[in-house]
């Protein structure tokens, strides 16, 4: 009986061990397959991004230059410093990490075949980064992080307007283009390393709480913003309507920061505001050219006309641009139908013209347009077209000079590229890029003067008929 028991016990233990071994092997095998498949998809994202840049970017860029920039992006975005490694797995070569990676990276991604077996060297590069290069780090670096860093580095080397957006950032961009989100109604930027309020939208929680432009946001929900990116700060501030968010703010002149607790709301990004400045002068300020801007502009214009408007001030200060079609629609209100508003020219010299199309334009309405150094892109298209057609007097300061067209191209994983694909040209064939729009009349506000010098000058030109003399002189 003892012998039989021993044999049964041994057989049972053997079966248990066998089952456990099969389970462990299966799990490891499946994890490896999933890991390999994930890395293959991530590598595919990089190769797609590389191909899209080469095909669509406005200038011809050598593949080797793009890949070198991608490697620099990995080093920079992962926040590392170059080191030397003595072995490169199967290669067993010595040298600076940058040289080794560049050589293998070039060999890997230059292949035109989509067979992932031929990308083994590139996988080895990622393995070295994740295991050898970061072996002393507490946090494991994922291959996706490396791929994104590579794409960021590649796109960053192109120009200041091209960009790479992660899936979350791409979603945020779509939200802003749509013009509605859950938040408190502020725009922010990072100035001198500090998250700073750049604009407060009217009739929003932030506006009602007394938050002002220029306020420094020190903490968001009791978390210091010192090491936060703009995207992280935006994600912390936005959220479901009716939920609370706390901001610790420091304002110039204050002795210490103050804490604001606000309740989030549905925030509609106002693309424009309008009002009567006096009994005869209408005013429309466009903050950004969004999808609904043209229809909102038409409605505002009709409302002002119903209020006996005889003159119009169009304010484009601090307007970063937006949708091209919205800009064309705005210009179409003031010049004859069928006239050239803007031309765009791509890398191959192909030109596409955008013409005015309003059925009953307001050709006789006296118009002054205000611009400044932050008026860019679509704002410059509007100002440039109205200036070239002698339809408005442009006042203020020279505009930003962003005369390039950015095209957003989604990638397979939900991220996206924003690439410069063409240049803008005014009706007279003048490139806006780097030059901007020079006003007909330079206006610089006086320090300490509470009056809006721009609007005061615009009203003076309109009410004293100086605008007509200026336009006749231009003609």
Instruction: Kindly tell me the sign of the dihedral angle through the C-alpha atoms of 184, 185, 190, 193.
Output: negative
Q: Which secondary structure element, helix H or strand E, spans residue 304, and what is its range? A: helix 293-306
Q: Could you write out the three-class secondary structure of 407-431? A: EEEECCCCCEEEEEEEEEECCCCCE
Non-local CB neighbours of 308 within 8 Å, separated by 6+ positions: 279, 280
Give the orientation angle of helix 63-77 with respect to helix 97-109, to 10 degrees.
130
Say which residues have a Cβ less than 8 Å from residue 146's Cβ, sequence separation at least 6.
Answer: 74, 78, 126, 129, 130
Q: Which residues pair with 49 in a beta bridge?
A: none
Between the alpha carbon of residue 156 and those of residues 18, 189, 212, 315, the distances in Å are 54, 19, 32, 32
Average pLDDT over residues 392-404: 94
Between 81-90, 241-250, 356-365, 453-462, the lowest mean confidence (pLDDT) is in 81-90
Residue 452 has a pLDDT of 87
Longest dimension (CA), the chain: 120
End-to-end C-alpha distance for the chain, whole angstroms: 117
Q: Residue 136: name the closest of 76, 71, 85, 70 by CA.
A: 85
Residue range 407-416: mean pLDDT, rounded: 91
Asked if pLDDT for residue 212 goes beyond 60, the answer is yes
Tokens of 268: 């509609």
Which of 8-22, 115-129, 191-205, 225-239 shows the lowest per-residue confidence on average (mean pLDDT)?
A: 115-129
CA angle in degrees (0–180, nearest 5) for 294-297-301: 145
Both tokens of residue 266? 């549905």
Q: Quote the pLDDT of residue 35.
A: 52
Determine the Cα–Cα distance for residues 404 and 422; give it in Å rounded to an integer: 6
136-166: per-residue pLDDT in tens?
Answer: 444 445 667 778 888 998 998 998 889 999 8
More confident residue, 414 or 101: 414
The hierarchical CATH code for the domain 272-474 is 3.90.226.10
- Which residues, at least 6 apart from 459, have a Cβ–Cβ distance to it below 8 Å? 277, 278, 281, 311, 313
**Least reliable range by pLDDT among 39-43, 152-156, 325-329:** 39-43
pLDDT in tens, 178-198: 666 789 988 888 888 899 998
- CATH tag, 180-268: 2.30.42.10
Nearest residue to 285 (alpha-carbon basis) of 316, 329, 326? 316
Give the residue among 59, 70, 144, 77 at the shortest CA–CA distance from 109. 70
Query: What is the H or E stretch that residue 28 is in?
Result: helix 2-56
**Pair 290, 261: CB distance under 8 Å:** no
Q: How confident is the model at residue 36 (pLDDT cuts 50, 70, 90)?
A: low
For the stretch 80-135, pLDDT in tens is 444 333 333 344 444 455 555 555 555 555 544 444 443 454 455 556 555 544 44
Question: Do residues 409 and 419 touch, judged by C-beta distance below 8 A?
Answer: yes
- What is the predicted pLDDT for the residue at 220? 95
Q: pLDDT at residue 17 above 60?
A: yes
Strands 216-220 and 223-224: antiparallel
Query: Quick one: average pLDDT of 265-273?
Result: 84
Residue 86's pLDDT is what? 35
State the DSSP code for 118: G
Q: How much is the pLDDT for 231?
A: 76
Condensed to tens digits (0 to 9), the pLDDT of residues 42-81 reads: 778 888 898 899 999 999 988 878 877 887 787 776 554 4
Q: What pLDDT was estimated at residue 137?
A: 47
Instruction: Flag whether pLDDT at 177 surpasses 90.
Output: no
* Main-chain phi, psi angles of 239, to 5 degrees: 170, -170
Report the alpha-carbon angle 432-436-442, nearest 5: 150
Which of 2-16, 168-182, 217-231, 385-399 shows the lowest mean pLDDT across its residues? 2-16
Stronger pLDDT, 296 or 117, i.e. the higher one: 296
Higher pLDDT: 269 or 267? It is 267
Tokens of 187: 């725009």
Q: What is the DSSP string of 325-377?
A: HHHHHHHHTTS-TT-EEEEEEETT--EEEEE---SS--TTS-EEEEE-TT--T
Q: What is the pLDDT of residue 32?
A: 47
Residues 95, 70: Cα–Cα separation, whole Å: 19
Distances in whole angstroms, Cα of residue 26 to Cα of each of 15, 21, 40, 259: 16, 8, 21, 54
Give tens-digit pLDDT for 330-385.
999 999 999 999 999 998 889 999 999 998 899 999 999 999 998 999 999 999 99
Mean pLDDT score across all residues of the chain: 81
Neighbours of 121 (CB within 10 A): 19
Query: Using a CB cutoff of 8 Å and minimum separation of 24, what contacts does 239-248 make?
Result: 239/182, 239/183, 239/264, 240/182, 240/264, 241/182, 241/265, 241/266, 245/184, 245/220, 245/221, 246/219, 246/220, 246/221, 246/222, 247/211, 247/217, 247/219, 247/220, 248/217, 248/218, 248/219, 248/220, 248/222
Nearest alpha carbon to residue 186 among 207, 159, 165, 172? 207
Parts of the chain belonging to CATH 3.90.226.10:
272-474
CB atoms within 10 A of CB 27: 10
In degrees and rounded to multiples of 5, residue 470 shows phi and psi of: -65, -40
CATH 2.30.42.10 residue window(s) in the chain? 180-268
Of the segments 200-204, 245-249, 263-267, 446-450, which one has the largest average pLDDT value? Answer: 245-249
Residues in contact with 458: Cβ distance below 8 Å, sequence separation at least 6, in sequence order: 313, 368, 370, 395
Residues with catalytic function: 377, 388, 402
Residue 404: partners with Cβ closer than 8 Å, 6 or more residues away: 58, 159, 161, 420, 422, 423, 424, 433
């Amino acid at each position: 009986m003892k012998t039989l028991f021993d044999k049964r016990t041994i057989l049972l233990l053997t079966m248990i061990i066998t089952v456990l071994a099969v389970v462990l092997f299966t799990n490891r095998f499946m994890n490896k397959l999933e890991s390999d498949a994930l890395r293959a998809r991530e590598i595919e994202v990089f190769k797609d991004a590389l191909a899209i840049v080469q095909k669509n970017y406005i200038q011809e860029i050598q593949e080797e230059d793009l890949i070198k920039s991608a490697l620099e992006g990995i080093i920079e975005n992962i926040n590392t410093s170059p080191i030397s490694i003595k072995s490169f797995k199967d290669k067993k070569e010595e040298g600076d990490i940058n040289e080794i990676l560049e050589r293998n990276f070039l060999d890997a991604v230059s292949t035109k075949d989509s067979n992932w077996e031929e990308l083994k060297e590139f996988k080895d590069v990622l393995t070295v980064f994740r295991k050898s290069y970061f072996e002393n780090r507490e946090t494991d670096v994922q291959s996706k992080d490396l791929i994104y860093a590579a794409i960021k580095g590649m796109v960053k080397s192109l120009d200041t307007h091209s960009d790479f957006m992660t899936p979350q950032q791409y979603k945020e961009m779509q939200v802003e283009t749509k013009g509605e989100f859950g938040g408190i109604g502020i725009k922010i930027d990072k100035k001198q390393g500090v998250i700073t309020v750049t604009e407060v939208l009217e009739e929003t929680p932030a506006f009602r709480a007394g938050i002002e432009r220029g306020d420094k946001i020190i903490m968001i929900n009791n978390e210091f913003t010192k090491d936060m990116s703009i995207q992280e700060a935006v994600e912390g501030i936005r959220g479901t309507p009716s939920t609370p968010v706390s901001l610790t703010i420091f304002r110039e002149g204050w002795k210490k920061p103050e804490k604001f607790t606000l309740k989030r709301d549905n925030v509609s990004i106002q693309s424009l505001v309008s009002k009567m400045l006096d009994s005869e002068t209408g005013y429309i300020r466009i903050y950004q050219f969004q999808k609904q801007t043209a229809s909102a502009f038409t409605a505002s214009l009709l409302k002002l006309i119903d209020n006996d408007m005889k003159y119009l001030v169009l304010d484009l200060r601090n307007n970063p641009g937006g949708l091209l079609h919205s800009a064309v629609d705005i210009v179409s209100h003031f010049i004859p139908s069928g006239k050239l508003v803007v031309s765009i020219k791509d890398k191959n010299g192909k030109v596409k013209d955008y013409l005015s199309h309003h059925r009953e334009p307001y050709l006789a309405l006296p118009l002054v347009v205000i611009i400044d150094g932050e008026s860019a892109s679509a704002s410059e298209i509007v100002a440039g077209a109205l200036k070239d057609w002698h339809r408005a007097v442009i006042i203020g300061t020279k505009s930003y000079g962003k005369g390039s067209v950015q095209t957003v191209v989604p990638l397979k994983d939900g991220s996206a590229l924003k690439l410069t694909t063409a240049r803008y040209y005014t009706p007279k064939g003048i490139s806006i890029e780097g030059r901007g729009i020079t006003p007909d009349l330079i206006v610089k506000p006086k320090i300490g003067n509470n009056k809006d010098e721009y609007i005061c000058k615009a009203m003076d030109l309109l009410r004293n008929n100086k605008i007509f003399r200026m336009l006749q002189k231009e003609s």
